[in-house]
Structure 1
Amino acid sequence: MFKILLIEDDATLFHEIHNRLSSWSYDVHGISDFGNIMEQFTTLKPDLVIIDIQLPKFDGFHWCRMIRAHSKVPIVFLSSRDHPTDMVMSMQLGADDFVQKPFHFDVLIAKIQAILRRVYNYNNEEIMLKTWNGATIDYDRNTVTKEDTSIELTKNEMFILKQLLEQKNKIVSREELIKSLWDDERFVSDNTLTVNVNRLRKRLEEIGLGSYIETKVGQGYLAVEEALLP
Protein backbone atom coordinates (compact mmCIF):
# COMPACT_ATOMS: atom_id res chain seq x y z
CA MET A 1 0.00 0.00 0.00
CA PHE A 2 1.47 3.36 -1.06
CA LYS A 3 1.68 6.06 1.61
CA ILE A 4 0.52 9.51 0.53
CA LEU A 5 1.14 12.69 2.51
CA LEU A 6 -1.70 15.14 1.79
CA ILE A 7 -0.70 18.69 2.77
CA GLU A 8 -4.02 20.55 2.54
CA ASP A 9 -5.37 23.01 5.14
CA ASP A 10 -8.96 23.08 3.85
CA ALA A 11 -10.54 20.49 6.15
CA THR A 12 -13.50 19.78 3.87
CA LEU A 13 -11.33 19.22 0.81
CA PHE A 14 -8.79 17.24 2.83
CA HIS A 15 -11.44 14.76 4.04
CA GLU A 16 -12.94 14.48 0.56
CA ILE A 17 -9.56 13.69 -1.04
CA HIS A 18 -8.62 11.44 1.88
CA ASN A 19 -11.79 9.38 1.54
CA ARG A 20 -11.56 9.08 -2.24
CA LEU A 21 -7.90 8.03 -2.21
CA SER A 22 -8.48 5.65 0.70
CA SER A 23 -11.20 3.95 -1.36
CA TRP A 24 -8.42 3.22 -3.89
CA SER A 25 -6.39 1.54 -1.13
CA TYR A 26 -3.91 4.38 -0.62
CA ASP A 27 -2.68 5.05 2.92
CA VAL A 28 -3.37 8.78 3.24
CA HIS A 29 -1.91 10.97 6.01
CA GLY A 30 -2.48 14.64 6.85
CA ILE A 31 -0.56 17.37 8.64
CA SER A 32 -1.13 18.31 12.28
CA ASP A 33 1.34 21.21 12.43
CA PHE A 34 1.69 23.36 9.30
CA GLY A 35 4.69 25.12 10.79
CA ASN A 36 6.68 21.89 11.09
CA ILE A 37 5.88 19.87 8.00
CA MET A 38 9.39 18.49 7.51
CA GLU A 39 9.40 16.63 10.82
CA GLN A 40 6.16 14.89 9.89
CA PHE A 41 7.43 14.19 6.36
CA THR A 42 10.64 12.64 7.72
CA THR A 43 8.75 10.47 10.19
CA LEU A 44 6.19 9.22 7.67
CA LYS A 45 8.55 8.67 4.70
CA PRO A 46 5.69 8.88 2.15
CA ASP A 47 5.77 7.42 -1.35
CA LEU A 48 4.09 10.54 -2.77
CA VAL A 49 3.28 14.07 -1.55
CA ILE A 50 0.23 16.11 -2.56
CA ILE A 51 0.63 19.74 -1.50
CA ASP A 52 -1.46 22.90 -1.79
CA ILE A 53 0.30 26.14 -2.72
CA GLN A 54 -1.59 28.35 -0.28
CA LEU A 55 -0.87 27.09 3.23
CA PRO A 56 -0.61 28.64 6.71
CA LYS A 57 2.76 30.12 7.74
CA PHE A 58 4.73 29.07 4.64
CA ASP A 59 3.44 28.34 1.14
CA GLY A 60 3.74 25.07 -0.74
CA PHE A 61 6.71 26.30 -2.75
CA HIS A 62 8.70 26.70 0.47
CA TRP A 63 7.93 23.16 1.59
CA CYS A 64 8.66 21.77 -1.87
CA ARG A 65 12.14 23.31 -1.67
CA MET A 66 12.63 21.81 1.78
CA ILE A 67 11.49 18.34 0.67
CA ARG A 68 13.61 18.44 -2.50
CA ALA A 69 16.68 19.27 -0.43
CA HIS A 70 16.35 15.87 1.24
CA SER A 71 14.26 13.60 -0.98
CA LYS A 72 13.33 12.68 -4.55
CA VAL A 73 9.80 11.62 -3.54
CA PRO A 74 7.16 12.47 -6.19
CA ILE A 75 5.33 15.74 -5.49
CA VAL A 76 1.97 16.84 -6.92
CA PHE A 77 0.83 20.44 -6.44
CA LEU A 78 -2.78 21.47 -5.93
CA SER A 79 -3.82 25.08 -6.49
CA SER A 80 -6.89 27.23 -7.01
CA ARG A 81 -4.68 29.83 -8.66
CA ASP A 82 -4.62 29.71 -12.46
CA HIS A 83 -1.55 31.79 -13.28
CA PRO A 84 0.87 29.94 -15.60
CA THR A 85 3.84 31.01 -13.49
CA ASP A 86 2.56 28.82 -10.64
CA MET A 87 2.89 25.72 -12.82
CA VAL A 88 6.30 26.81 -14.09
CA MET A 89 7.51 27.50 -10.55
CA SER A 90 6.25 24.10 -9.41
CA MET A 91 8.14 22.27 -12.16
CA GLN A 92 11.30 24.30 -11.60
CA LEU A 93 11.25 23.35 -7.92
CA GLY A 94 11.11 19.67 -8.86
CA ALA A 95 7.39 18.88 -8.69
CA ASP A 96 6.13 15.98 -10.82
CA ASP A 97 2.72 17.40 -11.68
CA PHE A 98 0.29 20.26 -11.09
CA VAL A 99 -3.48 19.98 -10.59
CA GLN A 100 -5.67 23.06 -10.67
CA LYS A 101 -8.71 23.34 -8.41
CA PRO A 102 -11.51 22.58 -8.91
CA PHE A 103 -10.58 19.24 -10.40
CA HIS A 104 -12.26 15.96 -11.25
CA PHE A 105 -11.19 13.21 -8.86
CA ASP A 106 -10.74 10.75 -11.71
CA VAL A 107 -8.10 13.08 -13.16
CA LEU A 108 -6.26 13.33 -9.83
CA ILE A 109 -6.33 9.56 -9.34
CA ALA A 110 -5.12 8.96 -12.92
CA LYS A 111 -2.20 11.32 -12.35
CA ILE A 112 -1.28 9.65 -9.06
CA GLN A 113 -1.41 6.18 -10.60
CA ALA A 114 0.73 7.26 -13.57
CA ILE A 115 3.36 8.84 -11.32
CA LEU A 116 3.54 5.86 -8.97
CA ARG A 117 3.88 3.44 -11.90
CA ARG A 118 6.61 5.55 -13.43
CA VAL A 119 8.58 6.16 -10.26
CA TYR A 120 8.37 2.75 -8.64
CA ASN A 121 8.07 0.37 -11.60
CA TYR A 122 10.03 1.68 -14.61
CA ASN A 123 13.45 0.88 -13.17
CA ASN A 124 12.70 -2.80 -12.66
CA GLU A 125 14.01 -3.56 -16.13
CA GLU A 126 16.68 -5.99 -17.15
CA ILE A 127 19.35 -3.40 -17.97
CA MET A 128 20.17 -1.09 -15.08
CA LEU A 129 23.47 0.37 -16.32
CA LYS A 130 24.33 2.12 -19.56
CA THR A 131 27.39 3.95 -20.84
CA TRP A 132 27.08 7.18 -22.79
CA ASN A 133 29.83 9.56 -23.85
CA GLY A 134 32.21 8.27 -21.19
CA ALA A 135 29.58 8.38 -18.45
CA THR A 136 27.83 5.54 -16.63
CA ILE A 137 24.08 5.88 -16.18
CA ASP A 138 22.62 3.90 -13.30
CA TYR A 139 18.86 3.71 -13.84
CA ASP A 140 18.37 2.01 -10.50
CA ARG A 141 20.11 4.72 -8.45
CA ASN A 142 19.15 7.65 -10.73
CA THR A 143 22.79 8.68 -11.05
CA VAL A 144 25.08 9.69 -13.91
CA THR A 145 28.81 9.30 -13.23
CA LYS A 146 31.71 10.57 -15.30
CA GLU A 147 35.27 10.04 -14.08
CA ASP A 148 35.14 10.87 -10.36
CA THR A 149 32.01 13.03 -10.44
CA SER A 150 28.48 11.75 -9.94
CA ILE A 151 25.17 13.62 -10.13
CA GLU A 152 21.77 12.45 -8.94
CA LEU A 153 18.73 13.09 -11.12
CA THR A 154 15.08 13.29 -10.18
CA LYS A 155 12.80 10.47 -11.35
CA ASN A 156 11.45 12.66 -14.15
CA GLU A 157 14.91 13.72 -15.30
CA MET A 158 16.17 10.14 -15.39
CA PHE A 159 13.04 8.95 -17.17
CA ILE A 160 13.50 11.56 -19.90
CA LEU A 161 17.19 10.72 -20.26
CA LYS A 162 16.34 7.03 -20.48
CA GLN A 163 13.80 7.63 -23.25
CA LEU A 164 16.34 9.65 -25.23
CA LEU A 165 19.14 7.10 -24.75
CA GLU A 166 16.91 4.25 -25.91
CA GLN A 167 16.76 6.06 -29.26
CA LYS A 168 20.12 7.82 -29.17
CA ASN A 169 21.11 9.77 -32.27
CA LYS A 170 17.44 9.87 -33.26
CA ILE A 171 14.95 12.65 -32.63
CA VAL A 172 12.34 11.78 -30.01
CA SER A 173 9.29 13.94 -30.54
CA ARG A 174 7.86 16.10 -27.78
CA GLU A 175 4.56 14.26 -28.13
CA GLU A 176 6.22 10.89 -27.60
CA LEU A 177 8.05 12.11 -24.51
CA ILE A 178 4.92 13.63 -23.01
CA LYS A 179 2.92 10.49 -23.65
CA SER A 180 5.53 8.16 -22.18
CA LEU A 181 6.26 10.43 -19.22
CA TRP A 182 2.77 11.21 -18.09
CA ASP A 183 0.84 8.33 -19.68
CA ASP A 184 -1.83 10.67 -21.03
CA GLU A 185 -0.82 13.82 -22.85
CA ARG A 186 -4.16 15.51 -22.14
CA PHE A 187 -3.01 16.12 -18.57
CA VAL A 188 0.26 17.88 -19.45
CA SER A 189 1.36 21.10 -21.11
CA ASP A 190 4.22 21.59 -23.55
CA ASN A 191 5.73 24.04 -21.11
CA THR A 192 6.03 21.36 -18.43
CA LEU A 193 8.17 19.18 -20.71
CA THR A 194 10.37 22.14 -21.65
CA VAL A 195 11.06 22.91 -17.99
CA ASN A 196 11.96 19.29 -17.24
CA VAL A 197 14.32 18.96 -20.23
CA ASN A 198 16.03 22.26 -19.40
CA ARG A 199 16.49 21.09 -15.83
CA LEU A 200 17.98 17.79 -17.05
CA ARG A 201 20.38 19.60 -19.37
CA LYS A 202 21.48 21.94 -16.57
CA ARG A 203 22.25 18.99 -14.29
CA LEU A 204 24.22 17.24 -17.04
CA GLU A 205 26.27 20.41 -17.59
CA GLU A 206 27.78 19.80 -14.15
CA ILE A 207 29.68 16.84 -15.60
CA GLY A 208 30.19 18.28 -19.07
CA LEU A 209 27.32 16.48 -20.80
CA GLY A 210 24.76 19.26 -21.22
CA SER A 211 25.53 19.82 -24.90
CA TYR A 212 24.85 16.17 -25.71
CA ILE A 213 21.11 16.70 -25.28
CA GLU A 214 20.10 18.64 -28.37
CA THR A 215 16.87 20.51 -29.05
CA LYS A 216 15.42 20.23 -32.54
CA VAL A 217 13.01 23.14 -32.82
CA GLY A 218 9.54 22.03 -33.83
CA GLN A 219 10.54 18.35 -33.65
CA GLY A 220 11.82 17.23 -30.26
CA TYR A 221 15.08 16.21 -28.59
CA LEU A 222 17.91 13.75 -29.11
CA ALA A 223 20.82 12.34 -27.16
CA VAL A 224 23.94 12.24 -29.34
CA GLU A 225 27.25 10.41 -29.08
CA GLU A 226 30.44 12.45 -28.88
CA ALA A 227 31.63 11.36 -32.32
CA LEU A 228 28.57 12.95 -33.91
CA LEU A 229 29.14 16.41 -32.42
CA PRO A 230 30.77 19.01 -34.72
Structure 2
Amino acid sequence: MFKILLIEDDVTLFNEIKERLSQWSYEVFGIDDFSQVMQTFADVKPDLVIIDIQLPKFDGFHWCRLIRSHSNVPIIFLSSRDHPTDMVMSMQLGADDFVQKPFHFDVLIAKVQALLRRVYNYGAEQPNLQTWCEATVDYEKYTISNANGSIELTKNEMFILKKLLEQKNKIIGRNELIKSLWDDERFVSDNTLTVNVNRLRKRLDDIGLGGQIQTKVGQGYIALEEV
Protein backbone atom coordinates (compact mmCIF):
# COMPACT_ATOMS: atom_id res chain seq x y z
CA MET A 1 0.00 0.00 0.00
CA PHE A 2 1.42 3.37 -1.04
CA LYS A 3 1.46 6.14 1.57
CA ILE A 4 0.43 9.64 0.46
CA LEU A 5 0.99 12.79 2.51
CA LEU A 6 -1.74 15.32 1.64
CA ILE A 7 -0.73 18.83 2.74
CA GLU A 8 -4.07 20.62 2.46
CA ASP A 9 -5.69 22.96 5.02
CA ASP A 10 -9.21 22.89 3.53
CA VAL A 11 -10.75 20.21 5.73
CA THR A 12 -13.66 19.50 3.36
CA LEU A 13 -11.38 19.09 0.35
CA PHE A 14 -8.87 17.07 2.38
CA ASN A 15 -11.55 14.60 3.48
CA GLU A 16 -12.94 14.24 -0.05
CA ILE A 17 -9.50 13.64 -1.58
CA LYS A 18 -8.65 11.19 1.20
CA GLU A 19 -11.89 9.28 0.65
CA ARG A 20 -11.35 9.05 -3.12
CA LEU A 21 -7.72 7.94 -2.77
CA SER A 22 -8.58 5.44 -0.04
CA GLN A 23 -10.98 3.77 -2.48
CA TRP A 24 -7.88 2.92 -4.52
CA SER A 25 -6.15 1.45 -1.45
CA TYR A 26 -3.85 4.41 -0.87
CA GLU A 27 -3.06 5.27 2.76
CA VAL A 28 -3.54 9.03 3.15
CA PHE A 29 -2.02 11.15 5.93
CA GLY A 30 -2.68 14.82 6.74
CA ILE A 31 -1.06 17.65 8.69
CA ASP A 32 -2.17 18.48 12.23
CA ASP A 33 0.28 21.33 12.79
CA PHE A 34 1.23 23.38 9.71
CA SER A 35 4.36 24.64 11.43
CA GLN A 36 5.60 21.03 11.73
CA VAL A 37 5.17 19.77 8.17
CA MET A 38 8.70 18.38 7.94
CA GLN A 39 8.28 16.46 11.19
CA THR A 40 5.14 14.82 9.82
CA PHE A 41 6.94 14.10 6.55
CA ALA A 42 9.76 12.39 8.47
CA ASP A 43 7.31 10.38 10.57
CA VAL A 44 5.11 9.23 7.68
CA LYS A 45 7.87 8.59 5.11
CA PRO A 46 5.36 8.98 2.24
CA ASP A 47 5.71 7.50 -1.23
CA LEU A 48 4.10 10.62 -2.73
CA VAL A 49 3.25 14.14 -1.52
CA ILE A 50 0.27 16.24 -2.65
CA ILE A 51 0.64 19.83 -1.54
CA ASP A 52 -1.49 22.97 -1.83
CA ILE A 53 0.23 26.27 -2.56
CA GLN A 54 -1.80 28.43 -0.19
CA LEU A 55 -1.27 27.14 3.36
CA PRO A 56 -1.12 28.52 6.90
CA LYS A 57 2.27 29.59 8.29
CA PHE A 58 4.28 29.02 5.07
CA ASP A 59 3.17 28.39 1.49
CA GLY A 60 3.55 25.16 -0.42
CA PHE A 61 6.64 26.42 -2.24
CA HIS A 62 8.44 26.71 1.10
CA TRP A 63 7.64 23.12 2.07
CA CYS A 64 8.44 21.79 -1.40
CA ARG A 65 11.86 23.40 -1.20
CA LEU A 66 12.52 21.79 2.20
CA ILE A 67 11.25 18.39 1.11
CA ARG A 68 13.45 18.48 -1.98
CA SER A 69 16.49 19.27 0.19
CA HIS A 70 15.95 15.92 1.94
CA SER A 71 14.15 13.66 -0.52
CA ASN A 72 13.32 12.90 -4.16
CA VAL A 73 9.81 11.71 -3.28
CA PRO A 74 7.35 12.58 -6.11
CA ILE A 75 5.37 15.78 -5.48
CA ILE A 76 2.09 16.97 -7.00
CA PHE A 77 1.02 20.59 -6.44
CA LEU A 78 -2.59 21.71 -6.07
CA SER A 79 -3.53 25.35 -6.64
CA SER A 80 -6.63 27.50 -7.00
CA ARG A 81 -4.48 30.23 -8.52
CA ASP A 82 -4.32 30.31 -12.30
CA HIS A 83 -1.15 32.33 -12.87
CA PRO A 84 1.30 30.41 -15.11
CA THR A 85 4.23 31.42 -12.91
CA ASP A 86 2.84 29.14 -10.19
CA MET A 87 3.31 26.10 -12.43
CA VAL A 88 6.76 27.25 -13.52
CA MET A 89 7.82 27.88 -9.92
CA SER A 90 6.51 24.46 -8.88
CA MET A 91 8.52 22.66 -11.55
CA GLN A 92 11.64 24.69 -10.85
CA LEU A 93 11.45 23.69 -7.19
CA GLY A 94 11.30 20.03 -8.18
CA ALA A 95 7.60 19.19 -8.32
CA ASP A 96 6.58 16.40 -10.68
CA ASP A 97 3.10 17.60 -11.61
CA PHE A 98 0.60 20.40 -11.11
CA VAL A 99 -3.20 20.22 -10.75
CA GLN A 100 -5.37 23.31 -11.13
CA LYS A 101 -8.38 23.72 -8.81
CA PRO A 102 -11.19 23.03 -9.33
CA PHE A 103 -10.32 19.63 -10.74
CA HIS A 104 -12.07 16.39 -11.57
CA PHE A 105 -11.10 13.69 -9.08
CA ASP A 106 -10.58 11.17 -11.86
CA VAL A 107 -7.86 13.44 -13.25
CA LEU A 108 -6.09 13.68 -9.90
CA ILE A 109 -6.27 9.93 -9.36
CA ALA A 110 -4.98 9.27 -12.89
CA LYS A 111 -2.02 11.57 -12.23
CA VAL A 112 -1.28 9.89 -8.89
CA GLN A 113 -1.42 6.43 -10.44
CA ALA A 114 0.74 7.37 -13.42
CA LEU A 115 3.33 9.08 -11.24
CA LEU A 116 3.58 6.20 -8.76
CA ARG A 117 3.76 3.68 -11.58
CA ARG A 118 6.48 5.66 -13.33
CA VAL A 119 8.57 6.39 -10.26
CA TYR A 120 8.48 3.03 -8.56
CA ASN A 121 8.28 0.67 -11.53
CA TYR A 122 10.29 2.24 -14.35
CA GLY A 123 13.61 0.62 -15.13
CA ALA A 124 12.77 -2.56 -13.19
CA GLU A 125 14.09 -4.66 -16.06
CA GLN A 126 16.81 -2.24 -17.14
CA PRO A 127 20.46 -2.05 -16.02
CA ASN A 128 20.96 0.34 -13.11
CA LEU A 129 24.17 1.84 -14.51
CA GLN A 130 24.94 3.41 -17.86
CA THR A 131 27.94 5.27 -19.25
CA TRP A 132 27.28 8.51 -21.09
CA CYS A 133 29.87 11.05 -22.21
CA GLU A 134 32.42 9.58 -19.77
CA ALA A 135 29.92 9.96 -16.93
CA THR A 136 28.27 7.18 -14.93
CA VAL A 137 24.48 7.37 -14.75
CA ASP A 138 23.02 5.47 -11.80
CA TYR A 139 19.29 5.01 -12.40
CA GLU A 140 18.72 3.47 -8.99
CA LYS A 141 20.41 6.24 -6.98
CA TYR A 142 19.36 9.04 -9.40
CA THR A 143 22.94 10.29 -9.68
CA ILE A 144 25.35 11.20 -12.48
CA SER A 145 29.07 11.30 -11.79
CA ASN A 146 32.11 12.28 -13.83
CA ALA A 147 35.48 13.96 -13.35
CA ASN A 148 33.70 17.26 -12.63
CA GLY A 149 31.73 15.87 -9.69
CA SER A 150 28.41 14.24 -8.95
CA ILE A 151 24.82 15.50 -9.09
CA GLU A 152 21.53 14.06 -7.87
CA LEU A 153 18.44 14.34 -10.04
CA THR A 154 14.77 14.17 -9.17
CA LYS A 155 12.90 11.11 -10.38
CA ASN A 156 11.25 13.18 -13.10
CA GLU A 157 14.58 14.53 -14.33
CA MET A 158 16.16 11.07 -14.35
CA PHE A 159 13.19 9.59 -16.20
CA ILE A 160 13.51 12.22 -18.95
CA LEU A 161 17.25 11.64 -19.21
CA LYS A 162 16.73 7.88 -19.34
CA LYS A 163 14.24 8.19 -22.20
CA LEU A 164 16.69 10.35 -24.14
CA LEU A 165 19.65 8.03 -23.44
CA GLU A 166 17.69 5.02 -24.66
CA GLN A 167 18.06 6.50 -28.14
CA LYS A 168 21.20 8.61 -28.00
CA ASN A 169 21.92 10.85 -30.99
CA LYS A 170 18.30 10.49 -32.08
CA ILE A 171 15.62 13.16 -31.80
CA ILE A 172 12.84 12.18 -29.39
CA GLY A 173 9.60 14.00 -30.18
CA ARG A 174 7.91 16.14 -27.55
CA ASN A 175 4.65 14.19 -27.80
CA GLU A 176 6.51 10.91 -27.33
CA LEU A 177 8.18 12.23 -24.18
CA ILE A 178 4.93 13.60 -22.79
CA LYS A 179 3.13 10.33 -23.39
CA SER A 180 5.95 8.37 -21.75
CA LEU A 181 6.07 10.69 -18.76
CA TRP A 182 2.42 11.05 -17.97
CA ASP A 183 0.80 8.11 -19.81
CA ASP A 184 -2.01 10.36 -21.03
CA GLU A 185 -0.95 13.55 -22.76
CA ARG A 186 -4.40 15.12 -22.37
CA PHE A 187 -3.57 15.85 -18.73
CA VAL A 188 -0.22 17.56 -19.41
CA SER A 189 0.64 20.99 -20.73
CA ASP A 190 3.38 21.40 -23.29
CA ASN A 191 4.96 24.00 -21.02
CA THR A 192 5.39 21.43 -18.24
CA LEU A 193 7.75 19.37 -20.40
CA THR A 194 9.75 22.47 -21.35
CA VAL A 195 10.23 23.40 -17.69
CA ASN A 196 11.35 19.87 -16.79
CA VAL A 197 13.87 19.62 -19.62
CA ASN A 198 15.28 23.08 -18.87
CA ARG A 199 15.67 22.11 -15.22
CA LEU A 200 17.45 18.89 -16.21
CA ARG A 201 19.80 20.78 -18.51
CA LYS A 202 20.60 23.29 -15.76
CA ARG A 203 21.48 20.49 -13.34
CA LEU A 204 23.71 18.85 -15.96
CA ASP A 205 25.55 22.16 -16.39
CA ASP A 206 27.02 21.58 -12.92
CA ILE A 207 29.10 18.70 -14.29
CA GLY A 208 29.63 20.13 -17.75
CA LEU A 209 27.00 18.10 -19.60
CA GLY A 210 24.21 20.62 -20.08
CA GLY A 211 25.14 21.13 -23.73
CA GLN A 212 24.71 17.42 -24.45
CA ILE A 213 20.92 17.78 -24.21
CA GLN A 214 19.84 19.85 -27.18
CA THR A 215 16.50 21.22 -28.31
CA LYS A 216 15.49 20.65 -31.92
CA VAL A 217 12.94 23.37 -32.60
CA GLY A 218 9.63 21.99 -33.76
CA GLN A 219 10.81 18.41 -33.29
CA GLY A 220 11.91 17.51 -29.78
CA TYR A 221 15.09 16.80 -27.85
CA ILE A 222 18.28 14.83 -28.38
CA ALA A 223 20.96 13.47 -26.05
CA LEU A 224 24.31 13.64 -27.79
CA GLU A 225 27.02 11.06 -27.19
CA GLU A 226 30.59 12.23 -27.52
CA VAL A 227 32.57 10.55 -30.27
Normalised by the length of structure 1, the TM-score is: 0.97
Question: Which residue number corresponds to residue 26 of structure 1?
Answer: 26
Aligned runs of 1:44-193 on 2, under 5 Å?
Answer: 44-147=44-147, 149-193=149-193
Q: Secondary structure at the match of 2:222?
A: strand
Deviations 1:146-174 (A, max 9, x none): 13621111101100000001111010011
Counterpart Cα distance in 2 of 1:48 and 1:214? 31
**Alignment gaps of 5+ in structure 1:** none
Give the secondary structure class of the aligned counterpart of 1:226: coil
Matches within 5 A, 1:209-228: 209-227=209-227
Q: CA deviation at 1:27?
A: 0.3
Looking at structure 2, the residues matched to 151 and 83 of structure 1 have their Cα atoms a distance apart, in angstroms, of 31
Aligned-residue identity in percent:
77
- Give the Å deviation of 1:129: 1.1
SS of aligned partner of 2:34: coil
Secondary structure of the 2:70 match is coil
Q: Deviations over 1:25-75 (max 9, x none)?
A: 000000000111001101111000001111011111111111111110011
Asked if the contact 2:6–2:49 (Cα under 8 Å) also holds between the matched residues in 1, the reply is: yes
Which residue in 2 is equivalent to 1:36? 36
Separation in 2, partners of 1:38, 1:105: 27
Match of 2:7 in 1: 7
**Using the alignment, how far apart are the partners of 1:196 and 1:19 within structure 2?**
31
- Deviation per CA, 1:76-125: give whole Å up to 9, x if none: 01111111111111111110111111111110000000000010000312
Question: Residues of 2 paired with 1:10 and 1:225: CA distance?
Answer: 49
Once residues 171 and 148 of structure 1 are traced to their aligned partners in structure 2, the CA distance between those partners, rounded to angstroms, is 27
Aligned residue identity for 2:76: V
The residue type paired with residue 91 of structure 1 is M
Instruction: Tell me if 1:208 matches 2:199.
Output: no
Which of structure 1's runs of 4+ aligned residues deviate more than 6 A? none
Unmatched tracts of structure 2, length 5 or more: none
The two structures have a TM-score, normalised by structure 2, of: 0.98
Write the distance in 1 (CA, Å) between the matches of 2:43 and 2:148: 33
